[in-house]
Structure 1
């Protein structure tokens, strides 16, 4: 799969668009699809801001990128499944636009840059779809809500809107070496950013200061996009799972929870670290941190191809229960606490999710209607295949909104010591998150960001 040292060597090659197209086509055929069919995809359109002549921020459609490696807006592609021919259509040169924006990518440059067989301009899309290669006996595969009004599929015997999207979503789960190299690179840059935030932590006056250091560190390394909106949560704000304000003043909060990662060429990193802003844990926050770190260590150690993710998630709950019993926050039998699902009050989310072009990547088959509260928010269900990348992000949170209903329910409250719990509200939340590549024999951790107690404390104090 490639090592951390040589990801730059792998990235000197081309994004493997043709291999991805072949993989998707094989999935479609395996589901009874037409082996002489055509795959059709469109890039995201360029748009202006409403009531404005400025362009809206652009984010490429991931389905299109997976089969093209092309980050240009207003583009199209076809893949002829019978001949394995991948054709990319890019916008033509518009002289009026050149005045303002410079020369766009040419057909020749695109042919050199992308792993495709042919490059044409977008003016030729419909004539290409109507050409003799589009057999009257074959099927075109497309995503219904991603087809422009001026595109016609009249030359095809059948249009199939059902198979292409699930085909790509499933194929994206297992990554090629090139994709893994992109995730490695995003992790390497995000790690520098996380360490820089640790060093700057004691001087911060506001959560925005942490976010600014993180984004600056990424920009300096030419990572111009964040994979998601960062969670920069000090003290009790860390109890909100997807906290987004990132603007509270730093006063006497003990912990910072920083969930942040950059994106490289449409591929994500997703890293969370929690640590003391001043460099010194309180007794309560250190107790919780050690439990979460143990949850993460044991769950990562359990990973290999074929392991049932549901079981690893349950393991995290068992370790959380054991730790919270030792601290006295929980009381009673560990077995009964697990059965009653009382631990969900402190660890309400899933252990992790697939990672790739999306932070919460495709193919996880969650069941958000599950009546079992322990598994309801688990974004991945079932066995993990080799080549998949999954986040392992256990956490323990002290969120009044979540915990108070448990305290009001006698069947749950009997397992919680309210007196001990009272000392822990100020901890807020602790989460530790790494990105793990699943292999046949085990796993590889793609996230080199420091997380051991002494390591983190030393970095903060060195700043």
Structure 2
């Protein structure tokens, strides 16, 4: 993304601050994996959103005070000895030149932080994250209070910045949409690759390997989350990530996987038969989930909300489960009782962005002061993912046991309705079977 994007985002945040205030946003730190090794570094999402700077242990100071710079980045100084071992650093001079903000070395943090806090009305920061920074700010405030006779002025408020950043990140700009569209395309092709590779006798982790390989080949070096490849009864475990079982003929395999591209997540789920052909029971239950997903997707448009989308899916699922004999009773009462939740055990979807379960309120205060559903507006990006899970021993006919189906796509709310960014990967029964037969996966 161009630097102008980050400059504009910082300007929007500045406009949301109380007068004469500062905002502090920390970078992530490297995390140890084992002795003398670290996990792959992943930048803090808010810090990335406002800087595009991918080094650890930095600090962004944003202010609307006339006597302070609008944006000041504190980062690690150049250090040839450290860079030989651990990689190149941009350094303050190059950061200032290339990022359209002022920059200084982290060694100056104590002095510059006190200058920023002194005289500010409020300090915005993540109150539930980075306890070290919060402690440092608190200590600086106490010190300023002790120096009031010298003319120092301590802030009167510490404000959690999370609500402001979440509201801004909820509406995606054009640059974000372009990246997420590409992430969806890469992830869709990875799912297709897994379908083509699938055979009885192979292992779940081999399908995962095909997916990760495709991600990396296309510029997405990391998944957005630990990939789920659950075959047979493993699909009934929502966050199954062992991915260690052998793929067996006659089973379904549920894959939930998406790449991370330039910090942004894709999140796709598909379910398909290991042998390439759905059994009658699998096809009936699969078509029910697919119909529910279509109904839910059709409800995604400006002015709608997650509650309406959920109701659309639950209506279809309840009718279908009743028709299949999996639920018993009177339809309207079953809908009112949300009886389908016995088998549809998670939500219909979530916000998607820099985090796979992205920030953003699901409830807002209505004009009457009551809590209301967050209405969809153009620029929001969300997942739609109905599913049905019938574990072994459920109160149904045994022919339904161990069936797990989830179908998930990534939808952008548009002025006209929505745009499905992940529709390239097949989800119709005939299309899946034809794809797998063409690759030799049908037995």
TM-score using structure 1 length: 0.83
Moved more, 291-300 or 56-65: 56-65
Which 5+ residue runs of structure 1 have no aligned equivalent?
Answer: 1-10, 29-33, 368-379, 408-417
Q: Aligned equivalents of 2:190 and 2:327: distance in 1?
A: 36
| Equivalent residue in structure 1 for 2:11, among 19, 22, 45 | 22
The answer on whether the counterparts of 2:250 and 2:279 sit within 8 Å (CA) in structure 1 is: no
TM-score using structure 2 length: 0.86
**1:341 Cα shift?**
2.3
Superposed CA RMSD in Å reads 2.4
Q: Aligned equivalents of 1:74 and 1:62: distance in 2?
A: 14
Cα distance change of structure 1 residues 157 and 461 upon mapping to structure 2, 3 Å threshold: same
**Residue matched to 1:142:** 125
Which 5+ residue runs of structure 2 have no aligned equivalent?
Answer: 145-151, 365-371
Cα distance change of structure 1 residues 112 and 211 upon mapping to structure 2, 3 Å threshold: farther
- Equivalences for residues 270-285 of structure 1 within 5 A: 270-285=267-282
SS of 1:67's equivalent in the other structure is helix
The answer on whether the counterparts of 1:269 and 1:435 sit within 8 Å (CA) in structure 2 is: yes
CA deviation digits over 1:63-116, x for unaligned, max 9?
2222212121011111122457222222111232123234322445434554x4
Q: Aligned equivalents of 1:163 and 1:295: distance in 2?
A: 38
**Residue matched to 2:194:** 197
**1:325 Cα shift?**
2.5
Q: Aligned equivalents of 1:134 and 1:158: distance in 2?
A: 7
**Residue matched to 1:436:** 411
**1:433 Cα shift?**
0.3
| Equivalent residue in structure 2 for 1:245, among 242, 245, 253 | 242
Matched, 1:386 2:370: no
**1:386 Cα shift?**
2.2
**Residue matched to 2:429:** 453
Q: Aligned equivalents of 1:241 and 1:366: distance in 2?
A: 25
**Residue matched to 2:368:** none
**Residue matched to 1:79:** 62
Q: What is the number of residues matched between the two proteins?
A: 415
**1:134 Cα shift?**
5.8
| Equivalent residue in structure 2 for 1:354, among 342, 351, 356 | 351
| Equivalent residue in structure 2 for 1:95, among 69, 80, 87 | 80
The answer on whether the counterparts of 1:77 and 1:89 sit within 8 Å (CA) in structure 2 is: yes
Q: Aligned equivalents of 1:366 and 1:278: distance in 2?
A: 43
The answer on whether the counterparts of 2:344 and 2:387 sit within 8 Å (CA) in structure 1 is: yes
CA deviation digits over 1:285-334, x for unaligned, max 9?
11111111111111111111221311210110110112223323233321
The answer on whether the counterparts of 1:142 and 1:160 sit within 8 Å (CA) in structure 2 is: no
**Residue matched to 2:107:** 123
Higher relative contact order (CA 8 A, sep 6+): 1
